[in-house]
Amino acid sequence: MTVSDLPSGTPLPPVSEVVPHAGAMRLIDELVHADAEQCVARATVRATQLFVDDAGMPGWTGIEYMAQTIAAWAGVRDRAAGRKPGLGFLLGSRRYACDVAAFPVGSVLTIRTQVELIGDNGLGMFACTLALDGREVARANVSVFQPADAQAFLQGQQA
């Protein structure tokens, strides 16, 4: 089963079940949409979160919101295929641009990721946007890697 095979109306899982981040490191709150090509997540900026200062959540954290939304997409995809969500890595981004210095506390962020390419070797590229209270304020192309065996990869046992 793949994400595109999910019956219409199938509820999306909680973020905690498809994203490896936990506690203060999990920035996204809920999945709004996921299919074979894209994922949409939502997050509310809270004063108690990591990185938040008097101005709010710094704009540079937008890339992490994007990466966690990609992780959620991969987790939903793994789960639909009957696998436990795997561990992935943010490799980098091209042209991350953010129009605001910070995302104010209390603001609602909507993060969209669109698959540009996925290789059989676990490499992927996503076109991402982040909207602040409905207005797009950040965009990037994000590169990720999800090895078949993350533990072996981390231990240097995978080429």
Which tens digits make up the pLDDT trace of 42-51? 999 999 999 9
For the chain, the structural domain boundaries read 3-154
The pLDDT, as a whole number, for residue 10 is: 61
Which tens digits make up the pLDDT trace of 102-142? 999 999 999 999 999 999 998 999 999 999 999 999 999 99
Residue type, 125: M
The pLDDT, as a whole number, for residue 1 is: 39
Report the chain's mean pLDDT, rounded to a whole number: 90
Of 18-22, 66-70, 96-100, 107-111, minimum mean pLDDT range: 18-22
The pLDDT, as a whole number, for residue 94 is: 85
Residue type, 64: E
Q: What span, in angstroms and rounded, lies between the C-alpha atoms of 51 and 101?
A: 13
In the CATH hierarchy, which fold is given to the domain comprising 3-154? Thiol Ester Dehydrase; Chain A (3.10.129)
